[in-house]
């Protein structure tokens, strides 16, 4: 075999190797079964709960017939309505305050001067995401007791605000980093003041991330139980606390309906946050 033939064979082998499809981890043996098992473990209980919320019988886990009976019952229950209003008030106030704080923090971290302690500040803001919630709840209770803070529902708003700030800040900071500073620099070159740049350029470009952060903060506050249980004054009940109280007194079909509505609200907000995070314009 001549040297020319060897060269041609080497080139053919190289071309065949280069056109080979790259490794696809999705074809790993058993990955589909493992993924399906994880999703079943996570979501089958929620599906069963939602199905039994339409059970018209008096037993929680004994199917009788399809009915909206327990949904009608919860709309007639004054205690549930009061707990729901408390949750909405706390979640709305905490979301507004935490989002404003998150915007300021994100702007300082991404658009401010690179000062010493920046990384430490980021870690401190994100600490509620990694610290066990029970630790945060106990620390907040001890702090409020030490300073004698007695604001009623205001205690819950303050506690939820601190806990929601990192959830609101994550998409906002990511959006600031992604969109760069070209548009803001162009506005400054046209003699716009810093406030003018923020209100007419930065904030409109940031709005999808802001709305995403709002939804994440709202659903985090709405679903919270541990911090609310620790911090709330006697008689101050949120919806998750009321559901827990119902379970302690004996599981009733009414719990399924309340849990389904709370689950639906959470899924709607989280889904909206995901869609807004993908919105680029």
The confidence score (pLDDT) of residue 11 equals 57
* pTM given for the model: 0.74
d(CA 143, CA 88): 25
Q: pLDDT grade, residue 76 (50/70/90)? A: confident
Question: So what's the pLDDT on residue 26?
Answer: 66
For the stretch 222-267, pLDDT in tens is 888 888 888 888 778 888 888 888 777 666 777 788 888 878 877 8
> What pLDDT is stored for residue 96 in this prediction?
93
Average pLDDT over residues 183-207: 84
Cα–Cα distance, 83 to 240 (Å, whole number): 8
- Would you say residue 204 has pLDDT above 90? no
Mean of the per-residue pLDDT values for the chain? 79
Show me where the domains of the chain are located: 77-278
- Exposure b/e, 63-99, CB count within 10 A at least 16 = b: eeeeeebbbeebeeeeebeebbebbbebbebbbebbb
pLDDT at residue 59 greater than cutoff 80 = no
**Percent of the chain scoring above 90 in pLDDT:** 4
Binned at pLDDT 50, 70 and 90, residue 275 comes out as confident
* Stretch among 68-72, 107-111, 222-226, 270-274 having the lowest mean pLDDT: 270-274
Q: Which DSSP symbol is given to 59?
A: S
Quote the pLDDT of residue 93. 93
Contact 144, 154 (CB under 8 A): no
Residue 18 has pLDDT above 60, yes or no: no
pLDDT at 278: 67
Q: Which of 57, 36, 81 is nearest to 253 (CA)?
A: 57
Q: Is 55 helix (H, G, I), strand (E, B) or coil?
A: strand
Q: What confidence category does residue 22 fall into, taking pLDDT thresholds of 50, 70 and 90?
A: low
Q: Span 77-278: which CATH code?
A: 1.10.3720.10
Element (H, E) at 81: helix 78-111
134-178 pLDDT, tens per residue? 888 888 888 888 888 788 888 889 889 988 888 888 888 888 888
Distance CA 158, CA 179 (A): 32
What pLDDT is recorded for position 190? 83
Question: In this predicted model, what pLDDT tens digit does every residue of 5-15 receive, in sequence order?
Answer: 555 565 565 55
pLDDT higher than 80, residue 111: no
Give the pLDDT score at 94: 92
Q: pLDDT at residue 3 above 70?
A: no
DSSP, collapsed to helix, strand or coil, labels residue 140 as helix
pLDDT classification of 37: cutoffs 50, 70, 90 = confident
Over residues 75-90, mean pLDDT:
85
């Amino acid at each position: 075999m001549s040297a020319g033939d060897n060269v041609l064979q080497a080139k053919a082998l190289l071309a065949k190797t280069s056109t080979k499809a790259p490794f696809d981890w999705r074809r790993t043996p058993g990955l589909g079964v493992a993924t399906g098992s994880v999703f079943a473990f996570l979501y089958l209980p929620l599906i069963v709960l939602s199905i039994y919320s339409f059970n018209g019988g008096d037993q929680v886990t004994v199917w009788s017939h399809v009915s909206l009976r327990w949904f009608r019952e919860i709309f007639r229950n004054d205690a549930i309505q009061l707990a729901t209003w408390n949750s909405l008030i706390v979640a709305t106030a905490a979301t507004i305050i935490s989002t404003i704080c998150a915007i300021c923090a994100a702007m300082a971290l991404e658009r401010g001067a690179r000062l010493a302690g920046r990384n430490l500040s980021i870690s401190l803001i994100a600490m509620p995401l990694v610290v066990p919630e029970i630790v945060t709840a106990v620390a907040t209770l001890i702090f409020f007791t030490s300073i004698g803070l007695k604001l009623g529902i205001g205690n819950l708003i303050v506690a939820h605000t601190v806990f929601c700030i990192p959830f609101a800040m994550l998409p906002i900071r990511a959006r600031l980093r992604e969109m760069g500073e070209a548009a803001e620099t162009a506005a400054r070159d046209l003699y716009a003041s810093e406030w003018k740049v923020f209100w007419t350029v930065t904030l409109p470009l940031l709005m999808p991330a802001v709305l995403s952060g709002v939804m994440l903060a709202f659903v985090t506050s709405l679903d919270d139980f541990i911090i609310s249980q620790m911090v709330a004054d006697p008689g101050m009940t949120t919806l998750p606390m009321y559901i827990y109280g119902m379970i302690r007194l004996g599981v009733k079909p009414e719990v399924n309906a309340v849990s389904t509505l709370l689950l639906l609200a959470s899924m709607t907000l989280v889904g909206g946050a995901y869609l807004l995070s993908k919105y680029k314009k």
